[in-house]
Structure 1
Amino acid sequence: MQRRRLAAFISLVLASFTPPLIPFSVLSAPPKTPNQTVECEILVTGAGLAGVATAYEGLLAGRTVCMTEITDWMGGQISTQGTSALDERRTQRLQLFFSRGYLELRKRIADKYNGNLNPGDCWVSDSCFLPHDGHEILYDMLQDAAKKGRGQLKWFPATVVKQLEISRAGSQQAIQGAIAIQHRPAAGVPPLNTLPLSQTIEDSYRYENSARLNKEILRFVPLARREARHKWYVVDATETGELIALADVPYRLGIDARSYLEPSASSGTSDPYCTQGFTYTFAMEATEDPIGHGIPPFYSQHSAYYSYELPRLASFPLVFTYRRIWSPKDGEPMSFGGINFEAPVPDDISMQNWTWGNDYRPGTAVDNLIYTRAQLQASGQLLPGNWLGGLRTESLRKAEEHAIGYFYWLVTGTTDSQLGDGVKQPQPNNRYLSGLDSPMGTVHGLSKYPYMREGRRIIGRPSWGQPEGFTVWEIDISRRNYNDDYYRQTLSPQMYRRLKIALAGLETINAIASTKPPEQIARRTRSTIFPDSVGIGHYAIDFHPCMTKSPPELPGNTEREGERQGAGEAYPFQIPLRAMIPQKIENLLVAGKSIATSHIASAAYRVHSFEWSVGAAAGTTAAFSLEKAIAPYQLVDDLPRREPLLEQLQYRLQQNNNPTAFPDTSIFNLDWDDWR
């Protein structure tokens, strides 16, 4: 039965993968009169954790919040992307030092499972749970926030933004409206989530009805009753930075050029094609009896990639329990590679998210997932009415195959690309979970949307010390001392000395005047403290590097050389408001992974609690700006001089239990090692 179901799904995946031969400009028609006009005070695009947190704070502030999402679930990482294992640092978790909404989320997860925050008994996190429950919990949280704050939530699932209406006012521009498309199944066709994303994404962005989807055209506009110039705010909380591409504001993709600010960069020049790998997750269930599994027809194209990666991880029970999301019975105690866990037992459910497994890691101009600005121009997607999501559909399709192949390798494979022969053993007592009632909520069993680790990243407005545009860089957060030979040999003497001076902290003036060798200049023991901090985060700089050659699964392919050089521990860090404010557009805020960080810094600014914190900051800032009738950039445009309104915003965040700094982490406190 399982073999037939997997074979049927494979046929479904392969059925309509014919690359489009018609230019984008022909495929996209201009919109007709919208079917519905919707008024908002805050328009949030993307219902991942950052988007939900934005809506949560906006609703508690009594605002009318519209929220769109390409899938039909809220939650992003913890639901639609399937990574329902909260990434948290131990010291932050022990003190429960998180945003108020994130604490509420953790409490409701525990309440859902009768007081158990970790119903999966996973070992990667203190909380692993079922993705569909993540959506339900967040939906209830927003309903309760609307009641408590007397706000109004207008929720638009299965909806994508197609066009922005942008007007110019002096040197600034503003979004006056947004055209979106909401889709639903056409009459007589299977429900949403039957087909994988690669087969539906371009259709969902076209105005015309299709054989699969019926469309409704929506126009989002500010509340008519507001008389102020700043009538509403739009927040890009999408997973890849769609609105910043549509608005055509300055942004970066991929690797930043090596500099004293980004000394561990793997390249002396920027490379927009090498972003972190993305992952279609899936769920598998341990069974009492072995199950036969049919070989996917594309398996041979991907089989040479899969691996347990490291000897200390080369254990199937270890990998299964790593992100086990449901475990109704206790298993026998086990230990492998210094990690203790309970062995899998029948009915346990594991979510798979593995670097040398279902990660898909393109990194060249012919297979990169997120189109660059030049690629968008060449494809016509930046022309009015031609936007199709800005992703390479073929890479989505290959990633879907890659994930299915990884499951087949887990249950039948006997080779390991990194560890050689004799390591991998078949594990037939497992089944692939699929169906609308499965943990991922899809007929095909893959997550509704891939887990995205990196998207387009804005370049903030020019600021003191950063005249070309504000960015949070590697040296703003890394714990590395940079005294090893790699940096002395890779960086020029001038660049190396400038790096050490930039890390001197309170001794900067003495360092500039000093004749000491650079490696003798004392390094500050903290991250950069930003005067405009509106949130917090703490996580290691964690890389899933792109691969060197195309396609990523090519036998013998390697990770891009040097990409892991910047990986390592980070100090607890802050979220500066300047990192959330793009250039040119005065009423657009950015939340989620598209804030102004470098390639290396973004590897830490991407996990669950950070997304909530930056979303809470975006929602609070939007509500505050509505109240004060200002644009967000006016809160920071006089820095480093005092900004009284910024101080009021920060006070409001802190009073609402949305922290903007970690305890005892001032420039004078040298005990930051307490935060590990």
Structure 2
Amino acid sequence: MKRKHFISSLGVGTGALMGLNNLAAAHKLQKSLTSGTREMKADVVIAGGGMGGCAAALATLRNGLSVVLTEETHWIGGQLTQQGVSCPDEHPWIESFGATKSYLELRARIRAFYTGFYPLSAQAKAARFFNPGNGSVSKLCHEPRVALTVLNSFLLPYLHAGKLELLLRTKVVAADSSGDFVHYMKCRNLDTGQEQVLKAAYFIDATELGDLLPLAGVEYVSGAESKSQTKELHAAEVADPKNNQAFTHCFVLEYREGEDHRIDKPENYNFWKDFIPPLKPSWPGKLLSLYYSSPSTLKPKKLGFDPTGKTTEGVLNLWNYRRIIDHRNFKEGLYKGNLSLINWPQNDYFLGNIIDVDERTFNKQVAKGKELSRSLLYWLQTEVERPDGGQGWPGLLLRTDMLGTADGLAQYPYIRESRRIRPVFRVLEEHVGKENRKQVASAADAGKAASFFDTVGIGYYHIDLHPGTGKNNYIDFDSLPFQIPLGALLPQRVRNLLPANKNIGTTHITNGCYRLHPVEWGIGEAVGAAVAFSLQKKTEPHAIRENEQLLKDFQAYLEAQGVALHWPEEIYK
């Protein structure tokens, strides 16, 4: 990797990076002190260190390329770490297949970290598939910092070998492009204000909101398309580019019975306490309550909340839903209480859009999202109904040490929807939606998602859209195990910038099943591999799709590196 007087922007001294990140930061800082220019060059520049960004970096690095990876927060890992969603949303076959080899290795290393370093109880040691939190939403519910440590372990060899430059607390702020090519990207350290120019043969936009797309002049869409535009069964009647899914500011709670950890009453608590979501179809009462709209039927549904873990038949106990530590899995006395991640309908923020707005508006909406999460916490501590007829659980402790922030809230909001490229090929509901497939496919194919000739990966999740800024309620229905088509990863015009997050060529509707942890990872890995293959073959990703032999060779290249391209027939039996 060529360097010319570069001042590093790692932002060391945060204390939030843990051992491996601190080691990386110190390593970079030492080198930066001896240099002075602000330009870096690599084979690939990746903006955004989330799931897609990490997977893209690993795919390019293991194939011999040099990489600069920028990340806006203190932590890599995106939704799995700094956004707090460390209960990955996955499909029922995930323990055996249905993701790339590297994603399955990530899960295995997270488990191995617990079994190798944590004092486990006998029942935990005997578990076939150890789940640290025994949360009901996922087969692997764990602490965010464990995932961070594992992701750092993936990257550390390349960092120390000089193949990777990791720039934390660094945000993309500009790009230079002409014709159909991007020439460089400019980024800024959010702590020091230092700017630098990053040059590469290829650029990958793995940011959470597709921030590089407008800066580089890449054509994109946002929000909800209309039925007339996409012919999708569940599309809106009228398009609304500003209608994006809610974001959520997650946090972690511990329950310590008999203690009092009530926070100060939030300034605008009374607003949120009485707030009735103005959604259509209507929401069943106040947002801060134990009733919500059942996502699939939109009928009122009763929820439970009991941090002692007790359940009532037929009622979901929210405490157990995203529990990330079950103290029974560990030796007695290690944890004072159980830990649960709070990412619920009650702290989904949908009163303001954060895509294509100015910085002041973005910060204002994010602050309101945080205010909602703090209000939810206070409500749980003081007013939520208890099974014994009382109100509130004062023993709920906000764990400010879990997410690397002083206030205990996630470093970045959990993002469900991004800008999306105008792609060579767009994934529609008719390709992956169970009901829509029946209308367009033959009887023999109606029970399967569309088969893409240019498949570069697979994934599965139901189509799940949370309430949006356009004041729509949930959109939630069945999909089918699907493929990731290369055409959805290619912008129509620009040749050397690819998306690797939720900014691929889906629609508002199909984003609902392509946005989850293993799929985002698979997208990033396919993009990174496409860049590496293109440079090796002296071609480009668009040409791979357009040339039958090149595509065949690339698909074999992916499979040789552990990327599944097709679902096994056994899932349909």
Aligned to 1:101: 102
Question: Any idea what SS the aligned residue of 2:194 has?
Answer: strand
1:643 corresponds to 2:555: no
Cα distance change of structure 1 residues 330 and 50 upon mapping to structure 2, 3 Å threshold: closer
Cα distance change of structure 1 residues 560 and 645 upon mapping to structure 2, 3 Å threshold: same
Alignment check: 8 A CA contact 2:272 2:288 kept: yes
- Matched residues, percent identical? 31
**1:469-526 CA distance string (max 9 Å, x none):** x21011111112688xxxxxxxxxxxxxxxx3x33377xxxxxxxxxxxxxxxx7211
Question: Any idea what SS the aligned residue of 1:294 has?
Answer: coil
Alignment check: 8 A CA contact 1:540 1:569 kept: yes
Q: What is the number of equivalent residue pairs in this alignment?
A: 492
1:350 pairs with one of 340, 347, 356: 340
CA distance in 1, matches of 2:115, 2:548: 46
Question: Any idea what SS the aligned residue of 1:480 has?
Answer: helix
**1:361-405 CA distance string (max 9 Å, x none):** 13xxxx31212xxx6xxx6xxxxxxxx5x9622111110101111
RMSD: 2.5
1:306 corresponds to 2:288: yes
1:588 corresponds to 2:497: yes
Letter paired with 2:554:
L
CA distance in 2, matches of 1:423, 1:544: 31
Match runs of 1:425-574 below 5 Å: 425-434=391-400, 438-461=401-424, 470-480=425-435, 500=439, 502-504=440-442, 524-546=446-468, 560=472, 564=475, 567-574=476-483
CA distance in 2, matches of 1:426, 1:361: 26
Match runs of 1:145-164 below 5 Å: 152-164=163-175
Match runs of 1:253-268 below 5 Å: 253-259=222-228, 261-268=230-237
CA distance in 1, matches of 2:172, 2:377: 34
Match runs of 1:137-286 below 5 Å: 137-144=150-157, 152-168=163-179, 173-184=180-191, 214-222=192-200, 232-259=201-228, 261-286=230-255
Letter paired with 1:454:
E
Letter paired with 1:143:
L
Letter paired with 2:75:
W
Alignment check: 8 A CA contact 1:256 1:265 kept: no
Letter paired with 2:197:
R
Q: Which has the larger radius of gyration?
A: 1
**How far 1:260 moved relative to its partner?**
8.7
Cα distance change of structure 1 residues 316 and 35 upon mapping to structure 2, 3 Å threshold: farther
Cα distance change of structure 1 residues 391 and 246 upon mapping to structure 2, 3 Å threshold: farther
Alignment check: 8 A CA contact 2:426 2:488 kept: yes
CA distance in 2, matches of 1:659, 1:423: 52
Cα distance change of structure 1 residues 655 and 476 upon mapping to structure 2, 3 Å threshold: same
CA distance in 2, matches of 1:636, 1:614: 16
Cα distance change of structure 1 residues 505 and 370 upon mapping to structure 2, 3 Å threshold: farther
Question: Any idea what SS the aligned residue of 1:52 has?
Answer: helix
Aligned to 1:663: 568
Cα distance change of structure 1 residues 482 and 37 upon mapping to structure 2, 3 Å threshold: closer
CA distance in 1, matches of 2:320, 2:536: 48
Alignment check: 8 A CA contact 1:59 1:146 kept: no
**How far 1:660 moved relative to its partner?**
1.4
Aligned to 1:361: 350
Match runs of 1:71-82 below 5 Å: 71-82=73-84
Alignment check: 8 A CA contact 1:414 1:422 kept: no
Cα distance change of structure 1 residues 146 and 573 upon mapping to structure 2, 3 Å threshold: farther
Question: Any idea what SS the aligned residue of 1:320 has?
Answer: helix
Alignment check: 8 A CA contact 1:541 1:569 kept: yes
**How far 1:346 moved relative to its partner?**
4.3
Alignment check: 8 A CA contact 1:42 1:66 kept: yes
Alignment check: 8 A CA contact 1:239 1:593 kept: yes
CA distance in 1, matches of 2:251, 2:257: 20
CA distance in 1, matches of 2:54, 2:74: 13
1:59 pairs with one of 51, 61, 71: 61
Aligned to 1:329: 328
Q: TM-score, normalised by structure 2?
A: 0.81
CA distance in 2, matches of 1:293, 1:83: 23
Alignment check: 8 A CA contact 2:252 2:342 kept: yes
**1:75-105 CA distance string (max 9 Å, x none):** 0011110000011111x22423321211111
Question: Any idea what SS the aligned residue of 2:468 has?
Answer: coil
**1:186-240 CA distance string (max 9 Å, x none):** xxxxxxxxxxxxxxxxxxxxxxxxxxxx222111113xxxxxxxxx111100100
Q: Unaligned 5+ residue runs, structure 2?
A: 1-35, 117-123, 125-129, 275-286, 293-300, 308-316
CA distance in 2, matches of 1:631, 1:63: 15
CA distance in 2, matches of 1:84, 1:137: 13
Aligned to 2:296: none
CA distance in 2, matches of 1:423, 1:218: 59
Question: Any idea what SS the aligned residue of 2:41 has?
Answer: strand
Question: Any idea what SS the aligned residue of 1:600 has?
Answer: coil
